[in-house]
Structure 1
Amino acid sequence: MTNTISSPVSGTVIPLADVPDPVFAEALVGPGTAIDPEGPSTVTALAPVSGTLSSLKPHAFVIATESGQGVLVHLGIDTVELKGEGFTLHVEVGQTVNAGDRLITWDTTPARNSGRSLVVPVVALEADVESLTVIAEGVVSAGEQLLELG
């Protein structure tokens, strides 16, 4: 069975190894890729897969698919330190979402002004690197296919 993971935000696809955080760069939480959101200061994060919102913070979320696979999206690096500033949540933990649903609106100005990276890691939790294929390169729009897991 193959699961397609869509890009939660628009931007440029970069290797996970290039994320300026060793937890992500070394794939300690799982394999994936990352998006460098370019352009407007407001970013809308969409659900990359359909499933249940198993974790939700202002700066990050995890969706558990029907097959039990978790997909983590982290908006920026060290953005937890902003204590929610710049993030507007449109969903709640436990909610069922469909791929493409709007989950979080992110005003990147506070993160940018504090010198934080805006890079958005997209990670398949508890997955084998061999089972994940990055199918997008260059610039990707939110909602376009990004990864295949299978």
Structure 2
Amino acid sequence: MTLEPVIIAAPFTAMAAAMSYVPDEVFASNIVGPGIALIPTSTSGRVEVFAPVSGVVAAVFPHAFSIDVGDSRNVLVHLGIDTVELRGDGFELHVSQGDTVERGDLMISWEPSVAEQAGYALHCPVVAVQAEDSDFDIVAELGQPVTVGTPLAVWRLREA
């Protein structure tokens, strides 16, 4: 039996890319789980990052957040690679751990130029944490732009 699928939407306007394109082996090899990478289409100014799914904020850091969507499913959005080293510089949080959010709610404001100037890659993995590859289907066209709310992927979960 398959439980209700989760549609994962684009949290910001970006170029869609394969996870294998991410310059971090943990993400590129799907160790955290399958996903899709987003690369901001603009690095000047602020990028508003919205919830790609509805659920409860399981974790939030200046550079990343995860949302528990239920049925043991958690979606992670990581803004840039190694941006934890910025210690919050260039990020503004709009939610806290434990908050209930709806798809499209504002999560973080980000200034990619801060990360770029510090030499960090701007690839942003959107990950179905610990999902089976067979349960995750990318529906966005890789190599093409996506806007906020554009469906990126569908995560199905089969009952054991």
**TM tier, shorter chain?**
over 0.9
* In structure 2, distance between residues paired with 1:66 and 1:128: 16
Deviations 1:64-104 (A, max 9, x none): 00323100000000100000000000111100000000000
Q: 2:10 aligns with which of 3, 7, 10?
A: 7
* In structure 2, distance between residues paired with 1:115 and 1:43: 18
Q: Which ranges of 4 or more aligned residues in structure 1 deviate by more than 6 Å?
A: none
Structure 2: tracts of 5 or more residues without a match: none
* In structure 2, distance between residues paired with 1:105 and 1:54: 18
Q: Which residue of 2 aligns with 1:17?
A: 20
Q: Which residue of 2 aligns with 1:145?
A: 151
Q: Which residue of 1 aligns with 2:34?
A: 31
Q: Give the SS at the match of 1:48.
A: coil
Structural RMSD (CA): 0.9
Identity level (%): 43
**Is the 2:43–2:111 contact (alpha carbons within 8 Å) kept by the matching residues of 1?**
no
Q: Give the SS at the match of 2:70.
A: coil
* In structure 2, distance between residues paired with 1:33 and 1:40: 19
**Is the 2:54–2:103 contact (alpha carbons within 8 Å) kept by the matching residues of 1?**
yes
Q: Which residue of 1 aligns with 2:119?
A: 115
Structure 1: tracts of 5 or more residues without a match: none
* Offset, 1:40: 4.7
Q: 1:66 aligns with which of 64, 70, 73?
A: 70
* In structure 1, distance between residues paired with 2:72 and 2:133: 17
User: Which region of structure 1 is more displaced relative to structure 2, 92-101 or 137-146?
Assistant: 137-146
* In structure 2, distance between residues paired with 1:16 and 1:9: 17
TM value normalised by structure 2: 0.91
Q: Give the SS at the match of 1:12.
A: strand
* In structure 2, distance between residues paired with 1:66 and 1:3: 10
* In structure 1, distance between residues paired with 2:112 and 2:146: 18
Q: Which residue of 1 aligns with 2:60?
A: 56
**Higher alpha-carbon Rg:** 2
Q: Which amino acid aligns with 1:90?
A: H
When the two structures are aligned, how many residues end up with a matched partner?
150
* Offset, 1:108: 1.3
